[in-house]
Amino acid sequence: MTGRWAGGGAGWQVRFLLVVTALLAAPQVRATIPGEERGRLLLIEALENLGGADRIRARSTWLVSGDGSEDLSAEMQGVSTRTTWRRHEECLAVDTRTLAVAWERKTPRCDWSLRWRRFLLGADSSGVIDFTGGYGVLRARATPAERRRALARRVPQLLLLEAVTAARRAAWVGERRVHGDLLDLVEVELSDGAVVLMQFSRAPTRFHGVEYRTHLPARGDVTVSWEWPAWRPDPGSPLPLVPIGHRLSLDGRPFQEVTYVGFESGVDIGRWFTLADTSRASVPGPPSPVAGAAGFPAVGEPAPGVHIGNVNGFVVLLVEFPDFVVVMEAPDAQPGFEAIPATRPAAVVPRAHREWVRETARGKPIRYAVVSHHHGDHLGGIRWLAAEGATILVPPGDVPTVRALLTAPHTLSGDTVDVPGSAVVEGVDDRRVIESGGRRLELIRVGANPHTEENLLAWLPGAEIIFQGDLFYFGDGQPFPPSGRDAINRFFADWLAENGIAPRAVYGVHNDGAAGPEALARSRPPTTDPPRR
Ligand SMILES: [Zn+2]
């Protein structure tokens, strides 16, 4: 216990609270207590009502498992901007002695491929188990303490304990009515400098939730709200109450609704931090790799005027014409809402992208910026391209999303771009050809696919190169198909065959290297249907 509010034992707190609670009962008195004093009292009282600092601190392990649903569209990763609910199962194991955290989620992606992973985050180790792919890795490399602490805060008792014993500052800043209940609001600067707004219901003072502001690449500034709206008695435990579940929302839109199937403390969680659990994996092991397309480098200039770059892990395209260039994809990093607060990308990727484009374009203006689909990791960096005067080309259904993004507030990302009101956004209905100086680039609308309702790809018929986002996944020298990607890869290989397009190389935003005809062929297993008569 090191914070400025640390006290020796809880006795003084309880006596103090009795007096203060009586005082607070009188509204005129409540109003006269300064914000810092009032905030601190609320935090202490709420912690007492959950068992008190000493008892919570004595629970050195926590194990929370939940079952519920997640709307991927709320974080702009759905099939459209309407709802994309998927079942969501999760488990969190925390060892507070070493601040080791195991975090597991089992949630289908928008294309129904299963994302089932456990991250093992320790003070001297980091690992992941991919249950879908059937493998795990554990390395002797520490996970930064901030990352582990931000995940441990998902246990509301631990978040509240931190606010009482280690916060840098806290102050009551007002009240808010939610569903008829008046909530007290306490702004807290946590031990790592993260500023959150904690909420408490009254009579008795109960920890209700926490919110913070962050930046969502495809939407702009958002408020992220965590609520533990109801608590139940826990007779077998030294703690009086445990939450029955959590609700997570973005700008008031529900993102995750989870009921806790288990909420335990003081139990053995050792097995959560080993690879032994890979035995639960659904397939025996990763499939074998397929070689990349011969003669097509992962980055560089695979054909004259066709440039492939890698910007902080995102693969991007620039096609050079005599008087202008066309760029494809405007990446930004997607924050991970599993942590409190979510990691914030702070415009790092768009800035790196801008540098690469400026270097590669050698002074030629950017006439068009093409975006494959509305997900934040493909669209989030579009603002600087609009400010450069590029016409933005997207699938027609994504035009409203892009327009909204250009004008939304972006104060939290470090983005200082000034997007002109004259920015042009156009939908590509079917196919759009950009041709100049003997070079031809075709933008083709793929339309509905397992990943999203809309998608646009780039086809360079001269070089026989395709560049696409989230339709085909490939990693040179890595298991093929990548974990969970078999269905979407098959869709795309079929789509190419049906449309008579036979590329020599397929690049992708999240790929590593160029896939060739061999990878496409292996994505279309021979049909097992009986032959037609
Ligand atoms: Zn996507």
The pLDDT tens digits for 447-488 are 899 999 999 999 999 999 999 999 999 999 988 999 889 999
pLDDT at residue 285 in the model: 61
Q: How confident is the model at residue 104 (pLDDT cuts 50, 70, 90)?
A: very high
Ligand 1 centroid – CA 78 distance (Å): 8
- Tell me the mean pLDDT in the region 347-369: 95
pLDDT higher than 90, residue 520: yes
DSSP 74: G
Tokens of 404: 């909204």
Residue 323 Cα to ligand 1 midpoint, Å, equals 31
Backbone angles phi, psi at 260, to 5 degrees: -80, 120
pLDDT for 311 equals 97
Alpha carbon of residue 102 to chain centroid = 17
Residue-wise DSSP of 266-315: S---GGGGSGGGGGG-SSSSPPPB-PPPTT--SSEEEETTEEEEEETTEE
The mean pLDDT value for 308-322 works out to 97
Of the chain, the percentage scoring pLDDT greater than 90 comes to 76
Number of CB atoms found within 10 A of residue 455's CB: 27
How far away, in angstroms, is 471 Cα from ligand 1 center?
Answer: 8
CA of 484 to the centre of ligand 1 (A): 14
Q: Which of 15-19, 100-104, 275-279, 524-528 has the highest mean pLDDT?
A: 100-104
Q: What does the pLDDT look like over 5-57, one tens digit per residue?
A: 443 344 555 555 555 555 555 555 555 678 999 999 999 999 999 999 999 99
Altogether, the residues listed in the chain come to a count of 533
Asked whether the beta carbons of 93 and 116 are under 8 A apart, the reply is: no
Which tokens is 523 given?
């994505």
Residue 270 has pLDDT above 80, yes or no: yes
Task: Give CA–CA dist 52/101, Å, rounded.
Answer: 23
Gap between the Cα atoms of 87 and 437, Å rounded: 51
Range scoring the smallest mean pLDDT among 42-56, 74-88, 277-291, 293-307? 277-291
- Distance CA(90)–CA(86), nearest Å, equals 13
- When the pLDDT of each residue in the chain is averaged and rounded to a whole number, the result is 90
- In this prediction, residue 347 has a pLDDT band, given cuts at 50, 70 and 90, of confident
Distance 451 CA to ligand 1 centre (A): 7
CB 85 within 8 A of CB 71: yes
Among 227, 156, 159, 223, smallest CA distance to 191 is for 159
Cα of 97 to ligand 1 centre, how many Å? 38
Q: Could you say which DSSP state residue 72 is in?
A: G
Residues with CB under 5 A from ligand 1 (ion): 375, 470
How many Å lie between the centroid of ligand 1 and the Cα of residue 77? 6
Calculate the alpha carbon distances from 324 to 354, 367, 393 in Å.
Answer: 16, 6, 15
How many angstroms separate the alpha carbon of residue 375 from the centre of ligand 1? 5
CA 373 – ligand 1 centroid, Å:
7
Interior CA angle at 119 toward 339 and 509, to 5°? 80
How far apart (Å, rounded) are the C-alpha atoms in residues 490 and 513?
Answer: 19
From ligand 1's centre to the CA of 374, what distance in Å?
A: 7
Helix (H, G, I), strand (E, B) or coil at 10: coil
Start-end of H helices in 218-272: none
Instruction: Return the pLDDT at 51.
Output: 95
Q: How far is CA 120 from the centre of its chain?
A: 18
Tens-digit pLDDT profile for residues 396-422: 999 999 999 998 888 887 777 888 888
pLDDT at residue 528 is higher than 60: no
For the entire predicted model, the pTM comes to 0.86
User: Residue 344 pLDDT more than 90?
Assistant: no
Please name the residue that has the structure tokens 């415009």: 347
Calpha distance 89→467 (Å, rounded): 34
Which residue, 445, 431, 334, is CA-closest to 379?
Answer: 334
Beta bridge partners of 184: 175, 200
Burial of 173 (0-12, 13-18, 19+ CB in 10 A): middle
pLDDT for res 475? 96
Token pair belonging to 502: 């036979």
